[in-house]
Amino acid sequence: MNNLADIIEQWILREMSQEQDDIIVLRRNEMAEELDCAPSQISYVLSTRFTIERGFIVESRRGSGGFVRIARIPVQTLVYQDAANQMNDSMSLADLKAIVTHLRSHHLMTGREAALIYKCFSILHERLEPQERIPLLKSLLLTLATQNE
């Protein structure tokens, strides 16, 4: 038999699967009543199973009129954001190429996109100081993340 946390998680995922845009808005108290549990148990499941690492963003407001909004983030967006977060002022061109190679090897960009991005990285690396180029490089990657969805 499933434990209560599993039941709550499955219920939320089932509700989410019925939505086209992978976003649901719930009322914690109504949900607790329907599942015959305490609102704190729902809060526990939200904080442990619906995390950014697992591809979810949870927004919660307590009190009267309170709600819980859960949105699923596409995995590829998380991977691109992680790659962008790895970039720093001390990165070499080889480090940047490794990021592009990693994204390409996981089929998150085409060979053509990889070649273009690497060329942009190369030009920016050659012509700009690190504090100027890193925000541009991050912006390029995050633009790709939204275009590949």
The model carries a pTM of 0.56
Instruction: Give the span between the Cα atoms of 34 and 36, in whole angstroms.
Output: 6
Are residues 38 and 90 both part of a single domain?
Answer: no
Are residues 79 and 63 both part of a single domain?
Answer: no
Q: Give the pLDDT of the chain (149 residues) as one tens digit per residue.
A: 579 999 999 999 999 888 887 889 999 888 999 999 998 899 899 999 998 778 788 998 877 667 899 998 877 777 888 888 889 888 888 998 999 998 888 788 889 989 999 999 899 989 999 889 999 989 988 888 777 54
Tell me what pLDDT residue 65 has: 62
**Per the structure, how many domains does the chain have?**
2
Are residues 80 and 47 both part of a single domain?
Answer: no
The residue range of the domain holding 87 is: 75-147
Are residues 106 and 64 both part of a single domain?
Answer: no
Are residues 47 and 83 both part of a single domain?
Answer: no
Are residues 55 and 89 both part of a single domain?
Answer: no
Are residues 66 and 95 both part of a single domain?
Answer: no
Last residue in a domain, options 72, 89, 110: 72
SS3 letters across the chain: CCCHHHHHHHHHHHHHHCCCCCEEEECHHHHHHHHCCCHHHHHHHHHHHCCHHHCEEEEEECCCCCEEEEEECCHHHHHHHHHHHHCCCCCCHHHHHHHHHHHHHCCCCCHHHHHHHHHHHHHHHHHCCHHHHHHHHHHHHHHHHHHCC
| CATH code where residue 46 lies | 3.30.56.130
